[in-house]
Amino acid sequence: MTFADLAPQLVNGLANASTLFLLASGLSLIFGVTRVVNFAHGSLYMLGTYVGISVTEHVSGPLGFWGGIVVAGLAVAVVGVLIETLVLKRIYHAPELFQLLATFAVVLIVKDLALIVWGAEDILGPRAPGLKEAVEIAGSAIPEYDLFLIAMGPVVLGLLHLLLSRTRWGVLVRAATEDREMVGALGVNQAWLFTGVFALGSLLAGLAGALQIPREPASLNLDLIAITDAFVVVVVGGLGSLHGAFVAALVIGIVKALCVALGTVEVAGFGIDFTRLTLVVEFLLMAGTLAVRPFGLFGRPVAVSEPSRSVAAVVAPGKRFHVGFVIGVALLACAPFVVDEYLLVLGTDILVFALFAASLHFLMGPGGMVSFGHAAFFGAGAYVAALLVRQAGWSMLGAIVATPFAAAALGLAVGWFCVRLAGVYLAMLTLAFAQIAWSIAFQWDDVTGGSNGLVGIWPADWASAKRDYYWLTLAFCAPAVWALWHVTHAPFGHALRAGRDAPARAEALGIHVRRTRWFAFPIAAAGAGLAGALFVFSKGSLSPEVMAIARSVDGLVMVLLGGVQTLTGPVAGAALFTWLQDETLRHTEYWRLVLGAVILALVLAFPRGVVGSLSALFPKGGAR
Amino acid sequence: MNLLEARDLEKRYGGVHAVAGVSFSVAAGERVALIGPNGAGKSTCFNLIGGQVRPDAGSVVLDGKPVTGMKPRALFRRGVARTFQITATFASMSVVENVQAAIASHLGESFRPAGSATHAHRDAALALLARVGLDAQSDRHCAQLAYGDSKRLELAMALANAPRLLLMDEPTAGMAPGERHALMDLVTRLTASDGVSVLFTEHDMDIVFAHADRLLVLDRGRLIAQGAPSAVRADPEVQRIYLGGHA
């Protein structure tokens, strides 16, 4: 391979690195000061792209293009300030997980608002006036706009550096990143500081989105793509470190470019297609970085706080709880005699997701470990079950029974890496593993069917009626949920909680905290895997979407909606979420908007989760 | 024979020689107080013994066997228990469940996925709570306990493995003066009957002189005096540190 082959890809990669840095630096600033993991940051980026293109459509020429970028940046900054003042400001003192849930809701709302305004079709942007040509460097044609972007990265880094080191405001931002309480104690108006940082971070996200106009079309998928990319950069660089984000963006941009440039390479007789790696290489990089440096390249341990540290009393389920559970399951078993087939299908979904949410809760609640990638286990279960039936000729029942074991093995492997980290870093590593799993499913055409997935995975004849499959699902889900609850209140669950509540005390009492956390993974994975297996037969087909980020986010929303401090919460959250999604989908294509608004309303009204808040209102009530 | 022996312990943090060659021993059943002005290296020394911090040099020997750098959980299995300066209990559990978790760990049941942790070893846990005078509050949420009662709870948890050596870092910090003596009387009562050795750090000299058999005085990372309370009290070097400052 010559330099001439490599150069265009390298330039492309470096140009990408610049916008990636703009995006990630905004996220990093916001996290550093407010400690909010802002999932809506990618939505701000997406808005920047749409607004920028809209302006160029109405105003032609250089004014439209360059003016459009500025307008997009400012407009997105305004949106950011609105989000901060209307939503986040009210919940800065709520548990961090609730802030996360609120930002999820904003993602849903922004996505549908964009759909309403700009439609579902991708929109191509114009090329940059004055920078449309290519220049020839060392025999390769290099687009001028790429060179412009490459210059933008260091310029923005320099400006941010000056802002943070030379202005009073910048010093306050850095002080707040180091020690928030200290700044509060010094009499600084925190409210304005937070709003200001949100405006700056949003501005950067909007600019990043708008600057990408000539290079990629505006689409409704940009939000989650952008937020994952930004998270990866921030985590690799180290939370709160601008220089780290810059270096990480460069490294990721270059490595991606190399993968494209390398193409297929023969290694030891095997043809390895590096272009396929582009989908996953940043996550491999992140996993590798975190394995060696648990706080990223330039991060320091101080920046991390555990996202879940519930101190609310957890009361062990008593006899009444068990009786209630049995009665509840008995009632559910009677449902097919009362309700129509449509509701039975919905009921099957609810059961599946109740198990999925309960298994995620096992990690998040007693384990105190937030996973952004729980769909990996769900999806793995779905694929394993489908393949056992399709490729290995197993019976449906055999496949469903075997799946939890396969998922548990995966959980054991993934967990081994994850428990070495804590807090947001742990969450991001779970996301990395989920993306790796997703890209395997997406690209391994021969086995998984690639992006088309697999079809015709129907239940065995004896369970093919909707009613029978509903019962089958209940027969698996109810005991599985009960088992998860049982483990939570068994000595293992208490040891896990002990390690979460007071790690040093638990270690001094002989509890191997890391190992208890590790073993929580296969247990949670088994539950999610079983849910995935039941899911695939109920739908008859599956695609990589089954383990996409969106599904992991759904799981988080279910758990947080119900309340992470209670056992029954996640199950109620799953039912509420699944029902709401179905109900709104029947009446409007804008189900995300409705769902987002409902979640936002619930978060603002019940900052402890639905079940958590209800049981706080009725302290002796049934929910535990 | 001595239960605990620390030999030439050293620990540096950057340029600071927090512990600079400290040797001492604790006999079986002995109550030893580690004292010294702020920054003397008490806490670091304590964490070197308790396994929270690994020494740069030197060794720790427990009952004739080397335990240098061993993790706290491994020391627990060898009969070492400890309480923390800032009271740490399992906030999501009830008082008795805290003790039950400690007992389950002692019996090697922390990985048992079946059976109710709320029922297992409840009687043994209640008996331990009775020994520290907390039995009446056993089913309260532990976050509701008064500060002094949290200290008692920690003590009950520390006794779950029937320790041979109890390490207490500032056991009476943050307590009212009257409560302090009550807590240390309790410690003395609980440990003397079973011949448990106690090593504790303490700021309050009244407590130290009343409840320790022997004192170890640290200053700037070095052991400058040790002996019976009356002898240490008369030591001119110790008087200089405590009364005359460093002038």
Q: How far is B234 from chain A (nearest CA, A)?
A: 36
Chain A residues in contact with B77 (beta carbon < 8 A):
510
Count of pairs with CB atoms under 8 A, one residue in A, one in B: 122
Which of B84, B102, B113 lies nearest to residue A504, judging by beta carbons?
B84
Q: Which of A335, A362, A593 is nearest to A481 (CA)?
A: A362
- Is B73's CB within 8 Å of A489's CB? no
Residue B140, class by beta-carbon neighbours within 10 Å (0-12 exposed, 13-18 middle, 19+ buried)?
A: middle
Q: Is A619 part of the contact surface with chain B (CB cutoff 8 Å)?
A: no
With a CB cutoff of 8 Å and minimum separation 6, the contacts of A250 are: A14, A17, A21, A153
Helix and strand numbers (H, E) in chain A are 26, 6
Q: Do A512 and B110 touch (CB under 8 A)?
A: yes
Residue of A nearest to B114 (CA): A490
Six-digit token pair at A465? 């009626």
Structure tokens at A334: 């009677």
Helix A549-562 vs helix A568-587: crossing angle, to nearest 10 = 120
- Minimal C-alpha gap between B161 and chain A (Å): 8
Total residue length of chain B? 247
Among chain B residues, CA nearest to A318: B118
* First-residue to last-residue Cα distance in chain B: 40
Query: In order of start, what are the domains of chain A with their CATH numbers?
Result: 3-302 (1.10.3470), 343-548 (no CATH)
Provide the shortest C-alpha distance from residue A563 to chain B (in Å). Answer: 15
CB A595 within 8 A of CB A588: no
- Which of the 8 DSSP states describes residue A513? H
Q: Which of A492, A496, A509, A566 to mutate to test the interface with B (most CBs of B within 10 A)?
A: A509
For chain B, which residues make up each domain, given as ranges? 2-89+164-243, 90-144
Chain A positions touching B154 (Cβ under 8 A) are 505
CA dihedral A230, A232, A235, A241 (to 10 degrees): -40
CA distance B7 to chain A (A): 22
Q: Distance, in angstroms, between B162 CA and closest chain A CA?
A: 12
Contact present, B158 and B82 (Cβ < 8 Å): yes
Residue A599: what pLDDT?
Answer: 83
CB spacing of A495 vs B141 below 8 angstroms: no
Q: What is the pLDDT of residue B73?
A: 93
How much of chain B is helix, strand and coil, in % rounded to 5?
40, 25, 35
Positive or negative torsion for Cα A253, A254, A259, A262: positive
pLDDT of residue A279: 75
Q: How far apart are CA B42 and CA A183, in angstroms?
A: 31
CB burial class (10 A; 0-12, 13-18, 19+) of residue A217? Answer: middle
- H/E segment holding residue B11: strand B2-13
Res. B95: pLDDT tops 80: yes
Q: Is the pLDDT of residue B185 over 60?
A: yes
Token pair 């075997």: residue: A402
Measure the CA–CA gap between B82 and A321, rounded to whole angstroms. 37
Partners of A503 in beta bridges: none
Q: How far apart are CA A21 and CA A10, in angstroms?
A: 16
Q: CB of A563 within 8 A of CB of A611?
A: yes
Q: Do A507 and B72 touch (CB under 8 A)?
A: yes
Nearest chain A CA: its distance from B102 CA (Å): 6
Q: Does A510 touch chain B (CB under 8 A)?
A: yes
With beta carbons under 8 A apart, name residues in chain A contacting B93: 313-314, 494, 497-498, 501
pLDDT in tens, B46-87: 899 999 899 999 999 999 899 998 999 999 999 999 998 888
Q: Is A393 exposed, middle or buried (0-12, 13-18, 19+ CB in 10 A)?
A: exposed
Whether residue A29 contacts residue A44, with contact meaning beta carbons closer than 8 Å, is answered with no
Do B165 and B80 form a contact (C-beta atoms < 8 A)? yes
Across the interface, which of A311, A498, A505 has its CB nearest the CB of B84? A505
Chain A residues close to B120, C-beta within 8 Å = 491
What is the β-pairing status of strands B165-169 and B197-201? Answer: parallel
In degrees and rounded to multiples of 5, residue B206 shows phi and psi of: -55, -45
Mean pLDDT of chain B: 89
Strand partners, B225: B217
B233 vs A58, A313, B238, B241, CA distance in Å? 88, 47, 7, 11
Is B73 in contact with A507 (Cβ distance < 8 A)?
A: yes
C-beta of residue B171 within 8 angstroms of C-beta of residue B153: no
A314 close to B (CB below 8 A): yes
Say if the Cβ atoms of A508 and B81 lie within 8 Å: yes
Which member of A498, A502, A508 has the closest CB to residue B72?
A: A508
CB A238 within 8 A of CB A247: no
In whole angstroms, give the CA distance from residue B247 to residue B245.
6
Residues of B in Cβ contact (< 8 Å) with A486: 113-114
A268 touches chain B (CB under 8 A): no
Give chain A positions within 8 Å (CB) of B116.
316, 489-490
Taking CB atoms and an 8 Å limit, are A486 and B114 in contact across chains? yes
Tell me if chain B has a CB within 8 Å of the CB of A519: yes
Q: Which mean pLDDT values do the consecutive 10-residue runs of chain A (624 residues) have?
A: 73 91 92 86 95 90 88 95 91 78 90 93 84 76 87 92 88 79 71 90 95 90 88 87 91 87 73 75 85 82 46 75 92 92 93 96 92 94 95 93 97 92 83 87 86 88 92 96 94 94 92 96 97 95 88 89 83 92 86 86 75 58 35
- Distance in angstroms (rounded) separating the CA atoms of residues A344 and A349: 9
Residue A591 has a pLDDT of 83
Shortest Cα distance from B228 to chain A (angstroms)? 30
Q: What is the pLDDT of residue A3?
A: 64
C-beta atoms of B71 and A314 within 8 A: no
Positive or negative torsion for Cα A126, A130, A136, A137: negative
Gap between the Cα atoms of A205 and A224, Å rounded? 13
For B71-228, where are the alpha helices, taking DSSP H only?
72-77, 95-106, 122-131, 147-158, 177-194, 205-211
Contact indicator for A593, A108 with CB cutoff of 8 Å? yes
Q: Which CATH superfamily is domain B2-89+164-243 in?
A: P-loop containing nucleotide triphosphate hydrolases (3.40.50.300)
CA closest to B163 among chain A residues = A509
Strand ranges, E, within A522-573? 541-542
Q: What angle do CA A531, A537, A541 make, to 5 degrees?
A: 110
Interface contact flag, A508 B77, Cβ < 8 Å: no
| Residue A616 touches chain B, beta carbons under 8 Å | no
- In this structure, what DSSP letter does residue A549 have? H
Contact (CB<8Å) B111/A495: yes
A492·B76 Cβ contact <8 A: no
Is A507 touching B (CB cutoff 8 A)? yes
Place of tokens 């931002």: A173
Q: Has residue B151 got a pLDDT over 50?
A: yes
Interface test with B, best of A505, A564, A624 (most B CBs within 10 A): A505
Interface test with B, best of A364, A494, A565, A624 (most B CBs within 10 A): A494
CB atoms within 10 A of CB B78: 16
Using alpha carbons, select from A37, A89, A115 the residue that is nearest to residue A596. Answer: A115
pLDDT (0 to 100) of residue B174? 84
A403 Cα distance to chain centroid: 24
**Rounded to a whole number, what is the distance in Å from the CA of A617 to chain B's nearest CA?**
18
Is B84 within 8 Å of A512 when comparing Cβ atoms? no
Quote the CA–CA distance of A233 and A227 in Å, as a whole number: 10
**Chain A interface disruption, residue of B46, B70, B89, B92, most A CBs within 10 A:** B92
Residue A229 distance to chain B (closest CA, Å): 36
Q: How far apart are the first and last CA of chain A?
A: 64
Q: Which of A314, A316, A501 sits opposite B116 (nearest CB)?
A: A316
List the single best residue of B90, B94, B95, B166 to mutate versus A (max A Cβ within 10 A). Answer: B90
Which pTM does this prediction carry? 0.86
How far does the CA of residue B240 sit from the closest CA of chain A (Å)?
36
Chain B: residues touching A (Cβ < 8 Å) = 50, 52, 71-73, 76-77, 81-82, 84, 88-94, 97, 100-102, 104-106, 109-118, 120, 141, 143, 154, 157, 160-161
Q: Verify whether the Cβ–Cβ distance A509 to B76 is below 8 Å.
A: yes
Closest residue in chain A to residue B111, using alpha carbons only = A492
Nearest chain B residue to A316 by CA: give it: B118
**Type of residue at B80:** V
